[in-house]
Every structure is written in C-alpha cells, then in structure tokens.
Amino acid sequence: MLDYTKYLLSPAILAAHAYGLWLGGNYVWLGMAILLGVLFLDAYLPRDYSMRDQRYVRIYDVICAMTVIASFVNIFFFSWLVGQGHFATTSSSVGAFLGTLFIGFVIGAPPVHELFHREEFVLRWLGRIGQCLIYDPWREITHVVTHHMRVATPDDPDYARRGDTVYGHILRTFPGQWKEAYHLEKMMWTKRGRKWYDPRNAWVYKAATLAAFTAILYALGGFMGALLAILTLLLGPRMLLEVFNYVNHYGLISATPGRFEKHQTWNHITPMVRILALEITNHAGHHEDSYKPFYKLEPDTNGPVQPQFLLVVLLALVPPLFFMMIKPLLKHWDMHYATPQEREIARRENERAGWHELNAPDPARDLPAGIWNMTAARATA
C-alpha cells in the first residue's frame, strides 16, 4: 500500500499549510517549511527507478483529484484570510504569500497538468477547471498541441535553446504561447463554422471559468484578498511552470519533430520529487505517451538526468551557475545520446550560444560514458 499512500504527501502538506495559515503568526511558514524540508531530504536520496503498484489504480486518481480540490480550498482560504486581515505581522504576511505561491507551484500545478491530459471526462474536466490554479485556462492548448508535437525544437514556445537564460525565456515564452493559443482557438472556431464570440467556443468557456473563479476569490477576500491570491498564482504556479519547462527541455535537440524519442528530454528521478510532482519529472515516459496516467509512467533507466529538481530550479535563477551545471551535461548528451543529425544541430547551437568548448572533446574533463545509466546510479548511491 505504500505506493498509494506516498501520494498523500501532497494533500498532507496542503493541509499543514492551511492549518499554519489558520494559526497565523509564524505558523504560516509551516507548510513551506515542511515542503522545503522534504525537498532538501530528497537531494540526498538516490534515484528511484521503481514502477508503481498497479492493482488499485483508482486510488491514485482519487488522491490526484483530491489534491486539485484541496488546492482550490487552499487558495480560497488564503483569499478569505487576507480579507479578514488575518495576517497582522510582516512575517506572517510574507510567509503566507510565499508559502501559498511555492506550494501552489510544487503541489497545485502537477495534478492539474496530470488531469487535463486524461481521457476520462470527469478527470479531464477537473483538470481543465483546475487551470484556474495557474490562473491561465489557455495553458492546456499550447501544451497539449504545440509543446508535445514540437518538443526540443525552437518551434515549441516552451523550449529554451542553448545560451538562453530563464529571464529571456520567460519574456519569449509568454508571447509565443499567447500567439499560438490564439492561432489554435481561431482554427477550431473557423473549422466548426462559428463566429469568434460563439458561446460554444472553448475560449468563451475558459474565460467564463476564470471570471467565476476570480469572482469567488473577490467574494471571499475582497479586492486585496483576490489580488494577492491571483498574484500567488501568477508568480508561483504560472511563472514557475515556465522555469520548469526551461530546465526540463533545456538545450536538448530533436531532429524528428512530431516523433518524440526518449533521449529528447531531461528527467528528475529522485523519490520525493517523483511523488510531489506526480511523476511529471519522470518526463520521457510522459512525452512518449501523454495520455498515460502518472502511475503508469516508466522511468527511463538510461535517459538524461539533471541534478535534483529544487537545486536545478534555484540554479536556473542564477544563469552563470545554471550554465556551469548544464554545459558538461549537454556535452555528454551530444557525445553519447544525440543521433548524428542531432549532433550536427547541437554543434551549431553551441556556436550560436558561444559555447565553443562544447564542440571540442576534452577526454580529461569530459564526463565518462554511462553516468545516466540506472546501474551506475545505484553503484554511486
């Protein structure tokens, strides 16, 4: 049963965060402290390539749906508490804001992503509604269509090329996504012979959902409650999701757009991150079949692996440090994972980024073959 109960960690942290908010004062840091503690512990754990138990898979779905609902409760609760003037001190205000923001990213966003990929009507509906938790119901369309079809090419707005910083990526990715979302929505209403304002169009439904969500936040917390709640969602799950995209596909190359190969994404295979992120960091399996539920994803035992997730996200915020970490890994990928055609693209990408050292073999310093192999990981653990 451990495989099933593992995923209760997310709702448990949400509950702790809500309890901390209710207690007020310095207790508002409780949820985030637990979350950071778990992630720091995770950094010292070996990679986990195990498969999940498949006997009672509905339990996973229930936990996932429960986490989305609990995330809604959390954000409504936060708005209400702000409206009540509950956070009297600077520490409690900052702690409540940062905790809601960070927990919204690590715990709130993954089940939303998981469910909007699902085929079952109710789960998918919950996933689509759940996009209010990233305050962007349009995220799904560019993700499912554009990102999954064009991953690891510059035609994917979610993709960061070699040399790109996270800040440049954020400035590029949002306009790219908006443009693509408009293009796709327009295509759908045109194909169905509808006007742009036809109430049956998907965008109308999405806009109405977002308006209703905002109205609830406002009703519960007034202007300030709604504003701060929305800010936590935009700066947390929404913005940090792009940081996640930035690191998760950084610099990898596909010479076969539309036909994903497992080596074309990074993975984060540490045990706690797998649980908290609902296996989304077990990324090759997700891209191989985006309909596959998280509990069926098979970790790629020989796939490209980055250092622990939290560390990578923090490094991404400091570009020189991120580049220092990623360059040897990219060079290793070029040498051992890229197809001959991809290697030639990588060579030009390295030149474009000014990373000429990646094109020059250096046997003394280059990472040895097999560093991402599961057996090697166990040997070093």
Partner 1 sequence: MIKERVATAPARADLCRITVRGKDGSEEVFDVKRNDLLLKAAIEQGVDYPHNCRVGVCGSCKTRVLSGKVSPMVDLALSPLTNEEIQAGYVLACQAKVREPLVVEAKLGRHALLPVRTVSARVVRWHRLAGDVIDLRLALDTPVHFNAGQYCTIAESGSFTRRSYSYYDVPPEEGAPAVEVGFLVKRLPGGRFSEWLFEKDRTGCKFWIEGPFGIMGVDDPDRDGLCVAGGTGLAPILSIVGDRLKKSRVARFTIVFGVRTANDVFANDRLDQLLAAYPDRVRLVTILSHEPASSAWSGPRGLVTAALGKDLGVDFGEVAAFLCGNLAMVEAVEKRLVELGVQPDRIHADKFVPSGTP
Binding site for partner 1 (CB under 8 A): 119, 144-145, 148-149, 153-155, 184, 187-188, 191-193, 253, 255-258, 289-292, 339-341, 344-345, 347-348
CA distance linking residue 120 with residue 110, whole number of Å? 17
Helix 57-83 vs helix 90-103: crossing angle, to nearest 10: 150
* Separation between Cα atoms, residue 328 and residue 377, nearest integer Å: 17
Closer residue to partner 1, CB minimum distance, 352 or 378: 352
Shortest Cβ 151–partner 1 spacing (Å): 12
Enter the tokens of residue 228. Answer: 């701060």
- Specify the residue, 13 or 297, whose C-beta has the smaller distance to partner 1: 297
Identity of the residue, 48 or 344, whose beta carbon is nearer to partner 1 in the bound complex: 344
Beta carbon of residue 208, minimum distance to partner 1 (angstroms, whole number): 19
Sign of the Cα torsion 242, 248, 253, 256 reads: negative
Q: In whole angstroms, what separates CA 149 from the centre of its chain?
A: 17
Q: Give one DSSP letter per residue of 250-295, joined into a string.
A: TT---SSTTS--GGGS-B---HHHHHHTTTTTSHHHHHH-TTS-GG
For partner 1, the closer CB: 209 or 359: 359
Give min distance, CB of 351 to partner 1, in A: 9
* Comparison of 188 and 324: residue with beta carbon closer to partner 1: 188
| Residue partners of 304: CB distance under 8 A and separation at least 6 | 252, 263, 265, 266, 267, 329, 333, 337, 372
Whose Cβ is closer to partner 1: residue 262's or residue 347's? 347
Q: How far is the CB of 191 from partner 1 (least distance, A)?
A: 4
SS3 category, 87: coil
Q: Minimum CB separation from partner 1 for residue 153, in Å?
A: 5
- Report how far apart, in Å, the C-alpha atoms of 173 and of each of 90, 115, 213, 242, 353 are: 34, 23, 25, 8, 18
User: Smallest distance from the beta carbon of 312 to partner 1, in angstroms?
Assistant: 24
CA dist., res. 113 & res. 128, Å (int):
9
Shortest distance (Å) from residue 264 CB to partner 1:
12
Closer residue to partner 1 in complex, CB, 206/238: 206
